[in-house]
Amino acid sequence: MENTKSLTNDKEAANSAVQCGVCMHGCLLREGQTGRCRARICRDGQVIAGNYGKITSLALDPIEKKPLNRFYPGSYVLSVGSYGCNLSCRFCQNYEIAQAGADQVPWREVSPEELCAYALAMKNRGNIGLAFTYNEPLVSWEYVRDCARLAKQEGLKTVLVSNGSVTLPVLEQLQGLVDAMNIDLKSFRPETYRSFMGGDLETVKAFISHAASWCHLELTTLIVPGMNDSEEEMREIASWICSLRGGTGKDIPLHISRFFPRYRMRDRGPTPVGRIYHLAEIAGEYLDHVYPGNV
């Protein structure tokens, strides 16, 4: 009887759970539970952004730092981050906030109105708008949307720096609001995405393909020794980028960045500088704009 009761309770719990639709994980959450991203939470029978407006990082950065080299070059953008991420990359560069939850990092609440007012006040320092970055911004896509709407009304630009591991219905909520994106294309191997990041390559490819059709797009590939540093994989990446926009994607910039040991991947040294330049040359056979980074 005890086993039957336990099984019944499990079924009732599963039936009462709500599925998050933001990313490929599709977390089933019961009331009060937080998703794999540490940011989305089930409240009153709905999955919402628990980190909405909870800011951990705020800085006025050169636009090239996003990196966006062909979107208002020479300008600055007010960069904002929260906490949480739906990937668990072993080499995470911002793990202190990206791999943290609300109780593990200091934050303060900033409303969309306050953030846009701050961005406007910094126009005299060359600021063109808002950049959502540092952690994965789309685990709180509602905050991005609300801020971007206000920014557009004020003539400000909105930039998104994302891992691209988000469903298309979420991305479509931002169409017409986000002006530029830099999206990580971390590998072109499904098994690498699964093993090293807990992600899904096809989700990222679909995200990039959709975004390429309506906003300024630049991509970044972090080259990790022994993970994604082969000539063959770089040719596959560059060739696929070239195929975007109906075969006219050769003008999409690709940033090829150097890895440094971080987080849970300290078992290898930094990417050799020569390897970055060599892979950039290969990508340049397919693409018009290739930029070596962190060299």
Domains and CATH numbers, the chain: 53-293 (3.20.20.70)
Residue 278 has pLDDT above 90, yes or no: yes
Nearest in space to 144 (alpha carbons), one of 121, 165, 175, 169: 175
Residue 280 has pLDDT above 70, yes or no: yes
**Range 81-107 average pLDDT:** 97
User: ∠ CA(268), CA(271), CA(277), 5° rounding?
Assistant: 165
Residue 238 has pLDDT above 90, yes or no: yes
> Is there a contact between 186 and 221 (Cβ–Cβ < 8 Å)?
yes
Biggest alpha carbon distance in the chain?
Answer: 72
Residue with tokens 């989305």: 40
> Does residue 192 sit in helix, strand or coil?
helix
**Range 159-182 average pLDDT:** 98
What pLDDT sits at residue 209?
A: 98
What pLDDT sits at residue 14?
A: 52
> Is there a contact between 182 and 66 (Cβ–Cβ < 8 Å)?
yes
What pLDDT sits at residue 5?
A: 38
- pLDDT per residue over 188-215, tens digit each? 999 999 999 999 999 999 999 999 999 9
What pLDDT sits at residue 15?
A: 61
Mean pLDDT over all residues of the chain?
95
Nearest in space to 254 (alpha carbons), one of 220, 212, 277, 208: 220
**What letter does residue 34 receive in the DSSP assignment?**
B
Nearest in space to 160 (alpha carbons), one of 123, 124, 135, 185: 135
**Range 48-71 average pLDDT:** 98
- pLDDT per residue over 12-42, tens digit each? 555 689 999 999 999 999 999 999 999 999 9
**Range 89-114 average pLDDT:** 97
Residue with tokens 């407006």: 53
> Is there a contact between 81 and 134 (Cβ–Cβ < 8 Å)?
yes
What pLDDT sits at residue 16?
A: 86
Residues contacting residue 141 through CB under 8 Å, at least 6 positions apart? 22, 49, 166, 170, 173, 174
Give per-residue burial for 108-118: e unless 16+ CB within 10 Å, then b.
eebebeebbeb
**Range 114-120 average pLDDT:** 98
